[in-house]
Amino acid sequence: MREKTEIWQQVTRCLEEKVSRSDFNTWFSHTTLKKCGPEIAVIGVPNKFVADWLREKYQIQIRSSFETVLNQAPQLLYSYDRLSDPMEKAGPTLTKKTDEPSKYHLDPSMTFKRFIVGDSNRFASLSALEVAKNPADQYNPLYIFSKPGLGKTHLLNAIGHHVLTNIPYMNVKYIHSNTFTSDFTYSIKANTFDDFKYAYSNIDVLLFDDVHLLTQRRKTQEEFLVLFNSLYRKKKQIVVTGDRPPNQIAQADPRLTSRLGWGLISEIAAPDQKIKMKIIEKKGREDSIGIPDDVIFYLSTLNNDIKSLIRNVTRIKTYASLNNRDINISMAKAFIKDYRMRRIEIDDVKSIAAGYFNIPLSELISNKKQKKYSYPRQMAMYLCRKYTDLSLKKIGEAFGKKDHSTVIYAIKRINQYKDIKREIKHDLKIIENLLS
């Protein structure tokens, strides 16, 4: 087994391609790999808050990155120093705490009680609750679709919690399509396909998230169809989510889209202003932080998806706590000051950079290595990384399908000289002014 430091460096490089730059810096910059084996990996984090956030929001991406690096996907545990964590009360307990993964892989925070209901999601919420009360009775399968971040995953988890609370003998399984694909692929490579099949053989309620991500994985689609048919014949409940109606999922097996439409189809629309404010207010109460009304209104205008709304509340809470500041409108606006810049598209950066350096856009994204082309290209890549939430991989693809290592080199190069070379500092200032 390679050294833990080397493994974690490779895993985090993979993660940089899967999450936005700001999220990576916020949640992964102070992590380490404490232990790594074929079955379990222990990740060291600063505190319980970070442990909970990584487990709830990035478990799939981290596990997938381990598989890329090690060709295996171990269970993930998180370790932090309890006594040095201000969020923990000191007491006569062990200084280390490890979070065991949930047996059912359900998020404890995602219940019906904590789901804010409005006109945009009322039908989906009522449908999910009916399924949870009476599994496999009439809405089978239940298919819920929406754009990302509007609550599909929350309803899946809420169904699972409700079933387990009221019908505890039922076997409930929540799984994301990426995890299903990862487990299926690993079972083939490791010759453990029988174990994979057995894990799904006695499910009473299947909660399958983001089925649209299976579209370019023919063998995985076929295996999911086998599972679907088996559970349906046994009259087991199936709940599936996607990002669009079944008949609009591109490159999906027609048999799959047909089966997803056999039961009830329910859409979650974008929340209105009133619901967004309720979500922010509720999140503030849950985190025991006072958010003034003007800050609630301001935050509600920034995003339409629930994940982003909650993420902004979490970030402001963390910022205020670390800097010992009260939450007010001026602090909130200062902290979110780069929001408008994050809305800049990558094409805006490329066109402005090409125009400023007086070169054709085709030359900016070419492979030419002369300084008059390479320097503007590096500058543009640096600005794309700074002012968009795109991954290194996506930025590289936008510049003539460059490898992500090229983007990393460009960013390091500009960062290295932007404060000591007058030319770079001058160019950077002007282009940033043009972008604003």
Backbone angles phi, psi at 242, to 5 degrees: -155, 180
CATH number attached to the domain at 122-267: 3.40.50.300
Backbone angles phi, psi at 3, to 5 degrees: -60, 145
Predicted local distance difference test score (pLDDT) of residue 89: 39
| CA-to-CA dists, residue 100 to 42, 63, 76, 195, 348, angstroms | 10, 15, 8, 22, 45
Predicted local distance difference test score (pLDDT) of residue 379: 94
Predicted local distance difference test score (pLDDT) of residue 337: 66
Backbone angles phi, psi at 170, to 5 degrees: -75, 145
On whether the 4-98 domain is CATH 3.30.300.180, my answer is: yes
Predicted local distance difference test score (pLDDT) of residue 83: 47
Fold held by 342-435: Chromosomal Replication Initiator Protein Dnaa; Chain: A; (1.10.1750)
What is the separation, in whole angstroms, between the first and last Cα of the chain? 48
Per-residue tens of pLDDT for the chain, all 436 residues: 468 888 999 999 888 888 877 778 878 888 999 888 877 889 998 877 788 788 877 887 888 888 888 888 788 888 876 544 444 433 333 233 333 334 567 888 889 998 989 888 999 999 999 999 999 988 999 999 998 888 999 999 999 999 999 988 889 999 888 888 878 888 888 788 888 888 888 899 999 999 998 887 888 999 999 999 999 999 999 999 999 999 999 888 899 999 999 999 999 998 888 888 998 998 888 878 889 999 899 888 887 788 888 878 887 887 777 667 788 888 888 777 644 444 678 888 888 888 888 888 888 999 998 998 999 999 999 999 888 878 888 899 999 999 888 999 999 889 888 878 888 988 888 888 777 5
Task: Give the whole-angstrom CA distance, residue 270 versus residue 382.
Answer: 33
Fold held by 273-337: Helicase, Ruva Protein; domain 3 (1.10.8)
CA-nearest of 103, 232, 123 to 164 is: 103
pTM of the model: 0.56
- Per-residue 3-state assignment (H helix, E strand, C coil) for the chain: CCCHHHHHHHHHHHHHHHCCHHHHHHHHCCCEEEEECCCEEEEECCCHHHHHHHHHHCHHHHHHHHHHHHCCCCEEEEEEECCCCCCCCCCCCCCEEECCCCCCCCCCCCCCCCCCCCCCCHHHHHHHHHHHHCCCCCCCCEEEECCCCCCHHHHHHHHHHHHHHHCCCCCEEEEEHHHHHHHHHHHHHCCCHHHHHHHCCCCCEEEEECHHHHCCCHHHHHHHHHHHHHHHHCCCEEEEEECCCHHHCCCCCHHHHHHHCCCEEEECCCCCHHHHHHHHHHHHHHCCCCCCHHHHHHHHCCCCCHHHHHHHHHHHHHHHHHCCCCCCHHHHHHHCCCHHHHCCCHHHHHHHHHHHCCCCHHHHCCCCCCHHHHHHHHHHHHHHHHHCCCCHHHHHHHCCCCCHHHHHHHHHHHHHHCCCCHHHHHHHHHHHHHHC
Predicted local distance difference test score (pLDDT) of residue 343: 63
User: Counting beta carbons within 10 angstroms of the beta carbon of residue 159, is it exposed (0 to 12), middle (13 to 18) or buried (19 or more)?
Assistant: buried
The residue extents of the domains of the chain are 4-98, 122-267, 273-337, 342-435
